[in-house]
Amino acid sequence: MKVIEVLQKKGIRPSITRVKILEYLRSVCSHPTVSEVYAALIDEIPTLSLTTVYNTLKLFAENGIVKALTIDGTNIRYDGCTDFHGHFMCSQCGTVYDFEISSAGEKGLENFKVSTKEVFYSGVCSQCL
Ligand SMILES: [Zn+2]
Ligand SMILES: [Zn+2]
């Protein structure tokens, strides 16, 4: 689905800034923070402010368009891919990797309503080892 359609479906006005931010998030797999998104787009959108990026990402996350991740407990990172996948954070280089989870089997939640699923691993990535 096109970025504009995604926003319209959620009743969010597709302003240029919102479209650019969402396009950017969907094009990278680095799980950027607010300041990283800002730094990446400031050349293209000179009127952009950190507050705008923050509010836009918050709005997207509230509407399930992006995922907000609090992996390292300090910075919120944003993920343009909302399909279920796990995250691995390298404690040496800080890179957040996506990984596939093959068997998403759970036991003991049969009568529960699950609203979020997060899988976080941490350790040292193959590049740093
Ligand atoms: Zn690493
Ligand atoms: Zn991810």
Q: Using one digit for the tens of pLDDT, what is the confidence trace for 66-109?
A: 999 987 778 899 999 888 899 999 999 989 999 998 765 778 88
Q: In sequence order, what are the beta bridge partners of 17?
A: none
CATH number assigned to the domain covering 1-129: 1.10.10.10
Tell whether the model's pLDDT for residue 115 goes beyond 90.
no
- Tell how far the Cα of 23 is from the centroid of ligand 1, in angstroms: 26
- Tell how far the Cα of 76 is from the centroid of ligand 2, in angstroms: 13
- Tell how far the Cα of 98 is from the centroid of ligand 2, in angstroms: 5
Q: What's the pLDDT score for residue 101?
A: 87
Query: pTM (2 decimals)?
Result: 0.85
The stretch 4-15 carries a mean pLDDT of 96
Q: Give the H or E element holding residue 69.
A: strand 67-69
Taking the C-alpha atoms of residue 96 and residue 85, their distance in angstroms, rounded to an integer, is: 12
Neighbours of ion ligand 2 (CB under 5 A): 79, 98
- Tell how far the Cα of 97 is from the centroid of ligand 2, in angstroms: 7
Q: What is the pLDDT of residues 87-99, one digit of tens each?
A: 999 999 989 999 9
Tell whether the model's pLDDT for residue 128 goes beyond 80.
yes
Taking the C-alpha atoms of residue 48 and residue 58, their distance in angstroms, rounded to an integer, is: 16
Domain regions of the chain by residue span: 1-129
Taking the C-alpha atoms of residue 111 and residue 104, their distance in angstroms, rounded to an integer, is: 17
Q: What is the pLDDT of residues 13-53, one digit of tens each?
A: 999 999 999 999 999 988 999 999 999 999 999 999 999 99
From the CA of 81, which ligand is nearest? 2
Tell whether the model's pLDDT for residue 1 goes beyond 90.
no
Q: What's the pLDDT score for residue 118?
A: 84
- Tell how far the Cα of 19 is from the centroid of ligand 1, in angstroms: 31
Q: What's the pLDDT score for residue 104?
A: 57
